[in-house]
Structure 1
Amino acid sequence: MAVISFGFIFLLCIGVPVVFVLGASAVASLLLTTSIPVSIVSQRVFAGLNSFTLMAIPFFVLAGLVMDAGGISRRIVDFATALIGWITGALLQVACLAAAGLAAISGSGSADVAAISAIMQPQLRKRRYDVDFGAAVIACAGAMAAVIPPSLTMVVIAVISNVSIGALFMSGVVPGLLCIAGLMVVSYIHARRGGEAYRESTPFSVQRLGRTMWSALPGLVMPAVILGGILGGIFTPTEAAAVAATYGLVIGLFVYRELSFRDLPRLLLRAASISASVMLIIGTASVFAWLIANNHVPQILGEWLRTVSSNPIVFLIIVNLLLLFICMFMETIAALLIVMPVLMPVALSLGIDPVHFCLIVILNCAIGTTTPPYGISLFVASSVAGRTVLQVTRKLLWPLVPLLLVLVLVTFVPSVPLWLPRVLGFLD
C-alpha cells in the first residue's frame, strides 16, 4: 500500500492529470508488490464502467449543453429577473435563483456557472456591482448543481455506494435550497452595504412576470418531467437523463428555434468529450478502489478511527475536515472514487445512514469546487468575469458561510436531508 500511496502523491504533486495518476500508481503497485497479472487492470476498468446507471452521465451532459445553446438558460434568467428584479442587489439575487433553476435541469455545476456568468457578468459591470463578489456568489450558487437533483455527482456516488438514486436525489432538495437561500441572504446584506449601485428602481410588473414565465415555461417544466418520471416509477434515472436530453432538443429545435440541426454534431461531440473524460476517471479509479479494498484499507482505517473514537459524530467531523481538504486539490469524481470505497464501510459499521453519508460527501465536494487551488466552479466564474482567481478568492469568504452552515446542519441533523426521501417512501 505504501507504493500506491507514494506513487499517487508524487504524480499528483508534479502535475500529472488525475486520470493518469490513478492508473499509473495502481499499475506500479501491481507490478512491484503483487504477483497479480497486469491484465487485471483492463478487467477492472471494464467492470467499473459496466453499469447501466452510468449511461445517465452523457445524457445529462448533453441535456445541459442543449439547454444553454437552445435558449432555455437565458429565459430562466429573464424569468428570475422579473420575479425578484426589484429587490436590493437584484442581479446577485437573480444569479442565485437562476442557479437553482438551472441546477434542476443540467446537473453540471461548471456548466451552470458558465451559463449564468455569461449572462449576468456584463450586467454586473454595467451596473457597477462588485464584479469579484458577483463571481464568488455565482461560483457558489452554480456549485449547488451537485446537490440539487438531478446531479451527475449523485449518479456517480450512488453507483459507487450502491444506494438508491431516487432517495439520494430527494435528499439533496432541502439542503440545496437552504444553500441558495443563504446565498441570497448574504447577497442582500452585501447589497445593503454596497451603496447606490445596488439600489433598484425598476418596479415589479405582473405583466412582465407573466410574459417571462410563459416564455420560460418549457424549460421550467423539465425538472418536473425528470423528477416526476423518476418518482412516479415511469422511468429509471438513466432513462430520465435520456428523456431530459430529448426534451431539451425538442424545445431548442421546434419551440424556441434557437437550435438548428447543423448545431447537433458540435453539441454531440462536446457531450462525448466531456463524458469521455469523466468515464476515463471512473475506469482508472475503479482499479485504484479495487486495490484499496484488496489491501484491506477500509478495515485498517476503521480500526484506527475506533481507537480515536467510536462516536459517529466524531467520525463525521473527521470526514468533513478530510474531504474539505481533499476537494480543494482534486476533481470531484476522482475524489469520490478514491474516498468512498474507504469511508463508506466505516460509516456503515458506525450505523450512519448511507444516503445521509453520501449527501455529506456531496456537499463537501460541492464546496470544494468553489475553493482554490483546484475549484473548477471558481475557475470558470473568474475566467468569464475576466478576473484572476486570486481577486475572486478575496471575496469568497462570505458566500462560503451559508454553504458551510448547511454542511454543519446536514451533518448533525440527519432529518434535514432524510425527511423528504422518507415522506416520498424512498426510505423507511
Structure 2
Amino acid sequence: MKISLTLLVLVAAVLGAPLFTIILGGAGVGFWMSEIDLMVLPIELYRLTENTLLIALPLFTFAGYLLSESKTADRLVNLSQAALGWLPGGMVLISLLGCAFFTMLTGGSGVTIVALGALLLPALKQSGYSDKFALGLVTTSGSLGLLLPPALPLILYGIVAQQMDIADVDIQDLFIAGFIPALLMIVSLWVYGLWSQRNENIPLTPFRLKLVLAELRLSAWELAIPLIVLGGLLSGWLVISDIAAITALYVLIIEVFVYRDISIKQLPKIAAESMKMVGGILLILGVALAFTNLLVDLEVPAKVFEFIQANIDSRWAFLLCLNFGLLILGAILDIFAALIIIVPLILPVAMEYGIDPVHLGIIFVANMQIGYFTPPVGMNLFIASYRFKRSISELYTATIPMMFVLLSVVLLITYWPDMVLMFVR
C-alpha cells in the first residue's frame, strides 16, 4: 500500500500534475507512513495565516501588475535616455537601469522583457550596438531588479525562513543587503558593454537639461515609488506590510487618476490576474511548509548535513557547490517554487556551516536570477525567443558572455560576505 501510494505521487509528477498537489501528496504519504495524524496538513496551512508578512505579498504584486499594464516602461526609458545618453555606453546603462527598475517594481523578469524589449532592442541597435550584443543585454537585464526592494523573492525567502523558526531573518535586512550586489551586477555589465563594443561607432546624445526636466516631470510620480519604499524601510517608522499597503494605494491612484493609463473597468481584471499568481504562491508555500515539517520529523536536514560534511570539508567548497546547484535549479524551476521547496533544505545546512541566513538569501536570489537565462532551459531565453522571433541558439550565444560576467559577481557576493552585510551590520 505504501509503495503504491508513493508510485502514484511519482506518476502524477511525471504526467504534469500541479506542483502543489505533488508536494501535498508527498507530504500526506510521508506523514501517513510515519503514523503522524494527517490533521497536521490543514494546521500548517492555518499557521501560515499567522505570518503578518504575507500581507505584503499580494499588495506588492498588485502594484507590480498595475505598473506592467501602464506606460511606465516608456516613461522610464525616455527619462533615462535624456539623462544618460551623453555618457559612453549610455544606452547600455539606460537599458540596465530601466530593466532593473522595472523588474524591481513589477517583480517579474519575463514581464520586463515583454514590456521593455520592444523599446530597448531597436534603441540599442539604432545607437550602433551590434544585434548580438543588444539581444543578449535585453535578455540578461530582465532579471536584474530581483535583489532590489520591494523584491518579492526576498520577501518570500524571509517568510519561509521565519516559518522554520531556526533563523531570525528580517525582511528589511534582506532589502538592505541586496543593494550592493544589485549595483555590482549593473556596473559589471555596463563595463563589459563598454569593452565588448569598443570598436563600434557609438554616437553620444548631447545633454539637454530642458529635455531632462520635461521627462522628469512626466515620470515624477513613478520615481517616487522607490522613495516611498526606501523611506519606509530606512526610517523605521513603517513595517513591510505598511509600506506594501501605501505603495499599492499610491500606484493605484497615479496610474488610474493621474496618468490615466488604466481605466477603472480594467481594475477587476488586473486584480484577478495578480491574485491568481499570489494564490498559486501561497498554496505552494502552505503545502511546502507542511512537507518541511515532515522532513524535520524525519531528520532529513540533519542527515543531509552529515552527508555533505562527510564529502565537503570546508564552508567555501559548500558555497561553490551551492552556487552550481542553484544555477541549475534557476534554469529549470521558477524562482518562487525554488524558494519554497529548496530553502527549507538548504537553510539548516548552511547555518551549520556558519553562513549568515541574510547572506544566504542574497546568494540564493542572485544565483536564481542568473538561472533565468542559463542554457539550455532558462525561462528568459524562451520568453526572449518568442518576443523577438529569434532562435534559441541565437539567444544562447548572445547571453553566455554576460552570464559569465554575472557569475564572477556572484562569486564575489558569495565569498565576500562582509561586502553584502556591510550596511546590515
| Same structural fold, with TM-score higher than 0.5 when normalized by the shorter chain | yes
Cα distance in structure 2, aligned partners of 1:328 and 1:5: 27
Q: Which residue of 2 aligns with 1:83?
A: 83
Deviations 1:202-260, CA, capped at 9 Å, x for gaps: 32222212221222121111101012112212221122112111111111123222222
User: Map of 1:101-140 to 2, 5 A cutoff?
Assistant: 101-124=101-124, 130-131=130-131, 133-140=133-140
The gaps in structure 2 that reach 5 residues or longer are 163-168
TM-score (norm 1): 0.89
TM-score by length of 2: 0.89
- Identity across matched positions, percent: 27
* Residues 396-425 of structure 1: CA deviation (Å, up to 9, x unaligned): 111112321111011111111101222xxx
Cα–Cα, structure 1 residues 282 and 3, in superposed 2: closer, same or farther, change >3 Å? farther
Which amino acid counterpart does residue 189 of structure 2 have in structure 1?
Answer: L
SS at match of 1:394: helix
Matches within 5 A, 1:2-401: 12=13, 14-31=15-32, 33-87=33-87, 90-124=90-124, 130-131=130-131, 133-162=133-162, 163-193=169-199, 195-196=200-201, 199-200=202-203, 202-401=205-404
Cα distance in structure 2, aligned partners of 1:5 and 1:399: 42
With over 3 angstroms needed to count, the CA separation of the structure-2 counterparts of 1:6 and 1:153, relative to structure 1, is farther
In 1, Cα distance between the equivalents of 2:8 and 2:130?
Answer: 43
User: 417, 422, 425: which one pairs with 1:419?
Assistant: 422
Superposed displacement of residue 343, structure 1? 1.7
**Within 1, Cα distance between the matches of 2:373 and 2:50?**
31
Q: Secondary structure at the match of 1:36?
A: coil
User: Which whole-Å CA distance do the structure 1 matches of 2:8 and 2:134 have between them?
Assistant: 40
Per-residue CA shift, 1:16-49, capped at 9, x if unaligned? Answer: 4433332233233344x23224343233233345
Structure 2 CA distance, aligned partners of 1:12 and 1:230?
Answer: 41
The one-letter code of the counterpart of 1:244 is T
Cα shift at 1:359: 1.1
> Greater shift after overlay, 361-370 or 251-260?
251-260
Alpha-carbon displacement from aligned partner over 1:56-84 (angstroms, at most 9, x marks no partner)? 12111111122233332221111111122
Partner amino acid, structure 2, of 1:59: L
The alpha-carbon distance between structure 1 residues 221 and 19, as it changes in their structure 2 partners (threshold 3 A), is same
What is the CA deviation profile of residues 135-165 of structure 1, one whole-angstrom value per residue up to 9, with x for unaligned ones? 4322322212221221000001011112000
Bigger shift: 38-47 or 397-406? 38-47
Compared with structure 1, are the counterparts of its residues 131 and 10 closer, same or farther at alpha carbon in structure 2 (3 Å cutoff)? Answer: farther
The worse-fitting range, judged by mean Cα deviation, of 331-340 and 131-140 is 131-140
Give the count of matched residue pairs: 418
Give, in whole Å, the separation in 2 of the partners of 1:295 and 1:318.
24
CA change 1:243–1:112 in 2 (3 A) is farther
User: 2 CA distance for matches of 1:132 and 1:16?
Assistant: 38
Change over 3 Å in CA distance of 1:255–1:208 after alignment to 2 = same
Residues 49 and 112 (structure 1), Cα distance of their counterparts in 2 relative to 1, 3 Å cut? farther
| Contact 1:100-1:177 within 8 A present in 2 as well | no
Note the C-alpha offset of 1:96: 0.6
Shift of 1:129: 5.2
For 1:217 and 1:157, locate their aligned partners in 2 and report how far apart those are by CA, in whole Å: 31
Residue identity in the other structure for 2:213:
G
Whether the 8 Å contact between 2:104 and 2:146 is mirrored in structure 1 is: no
1:327 alignment partner, SS class = helix
**Distance across 2 between alignment mates of 1:80 and 1:71:** 15
Contact map agreement 1:320 1:364 (CA 8 A) in 2: yes
**How many angstroms does 1:168 deviate by?**
0.5
Residues 205 and 57 of structure 1: is their aligned pair in 2 closer, same or farther, counting only changes over 3 Å? same
The whole-number CA distance in structure 2 between the counterparts of 1:292 and 1:3 is: 21
* Contact 1:136-1:378 at 8 Å conserved across structures: no
Query: How far off is 1:172 after superposition?
Result: 0.2
- The answer for unaligned runs of 5 or more in structure 1 is 423-428
What is the distance in 2 between the residues matched to 1:235 and 1:342? Answer: 32
Separation in 1, partners of 2:49, 2:70: 30
Give the C-alpha shift of residue 171 in structure 1. Answer: 0.2
Q: For residues 106 and 129 of structure 1, what CA distance do their matches in structure 2 show? A: 27
Shift of 1:100: 2.5
In 2 relative to 1, CA 5–249 (structure 1 residues): closer, same or farther, beyond 3 Å? same
Taking the aligned partners of 2:23 and 2:195, their CA distance within structure 1 comes to 44
SS at 2:143's partner residue?
Answer: helix
C-alpha distance in structure 2 between counterparts of 1:4 and 1:318, whole Å: 33
Change (3 A) 1:38 1:217: same
Judge conservation of contact 1:3–1:28 (CA < 8 Å) in 2.
Answer: no
Cα distance change, pair 376–52 in 1 and its aligned pair in 2 (3 A)? farther
Q: Provide the alpha-carbon RMSD of the alignment.
A: 2.7
Q: Distance in 1 between matches of 2:99 and 2:120?
A: 11
Letter in structure 2 aligned against 1:46: Y
Closer, same or farther in 2 for the Cα pair 1:421/1:49, shift >3 Å? same
Deviates more, 1:405-414 or 1:369-378: 369-378
Partner letter of residue 145 of structure 2? A
Q: What SS is found at the alignment partner of 1:328? A: helix
Distance 1:13 1:373 in 2: 20
User: CA offset at residue 363 of structure 1?
Assistant: 1.0
| Cα pair distance change 1:80/1:10, threshold 3 Å | farther
Q: CA deviation at 1:125?
A: 6.3
